[in-house]
Amino acid sequence: MSLAILHGGTYYHAEAILGARYRDRFERVIYAPDLKPGDLDGVGVLIVPDRLNPSLLRRHRPLLLGHLARGGTLVVFAETQAHAWVPGVDWTFRPTNFWWWRQQGATPAQRVVRPDHELFRFVDPAATIWHFHGVLRPPPGAEALMVVPPEPGGRDDGGCLLYDDRVSTKGRLIVSTLDPFYHHGSHFMPATTRFLDGFLPWAQAVARGEAVSPARAAASG
C-alpha cells in the first residue's frame, strides 16, 4: 500500500510537499480540489497536512471516511477543523503561544507520554516541540501520545496534541494539533523540519505495513 498526501495549492504545501526534500516520500500527491472517487485506491496512509482548507475536507468527507472504512490510515494535522469532519475528534481552541521559549527559564508544556510508541522510533520527542493549535480530548480507547497541562488562564483542562485512534473507525486515525507542513514550508521553525524528517519515513513504513510497536509485536508474537 502507498503513502498519499493532499495539498491545497498554498505556497507552504508547495514547498513542503512538492519541494525536493520530501517529494519522493509520497507515492501519490493529490491536489485536494481535484480529489475524486478511486484516487485513494491502494492508499494505505493518507496525510491531510495542516491548514488544508477545511471547506475542501467537508466536501470530500465521504471519500475520506471511505478510506477509513476500508481500513486505511488517515493522518490529520492542525487547523483543518478536524472536529467538523473526522469521527471522534473533540477539539478546544487555545490561543497559540509562539513566544513561550523566549521567556526566562522556559520549559515546554508539551510532553510525550508514550515514548514507547512506534512513532518515536522515527521521531525524536524533542522534534515535536514548537507550539500547537488547540487541544484534543481523545475518544475512549485511543492512545494519547503527547499532552499539555491545563492552560494557565483556565480556558481548558489540558489535553492532547497527538493521538492514535484505532477504535473510532475500521481504520486508524492519527490526529494532531501540530502544524509542521506550514512551518517547514514557510522556512520558519526548524524543529518542524526535524519532525517531518522522522514522521514521513514512519508514515511510509505504516503504509507498507513495516511499522509495528514493540508492545504490539510482543503481544502478537
Which residues are at the interface with another protein (CB under 8 A)?
Answer: 8-12, 14-15, 31, 33, 51, 53-56, 79, 81, 93, 95-96, 98-99, 102, 133, 186-188
| Nearer Cβ to another protein (98/170) | 98
Instruction: Give the span between the Cα atoms of 111 and 93, in whole angstroms.
Output: 19
Shortest distance (Å) from residue 141 CB to another protein? 29
Neighbours of 144 (CB within 10 A): 18
| Nearer Cβ to another protein (50/118) | 50
Give how far the C-alpha of residue 215 lies from the chain's centroid of Cα atoms, to the nearest Å: 22
- Contact criterion met (CB below 8 Å) for 142 and 178: no
Shortest distance (Å) from residue 14 CB to another protein? 4
Shortest distance (Å) from residue 171 CB to another protein? 25
Shortest distance (Å) from residue 108 CB to another protein? 15
| Nearer Cβ to another protein (15/164) | 15
Q: How far is CA 137 from CA 42, 84, 158, 208, 218, in A?
A: 31, 14, 9, 29, 28
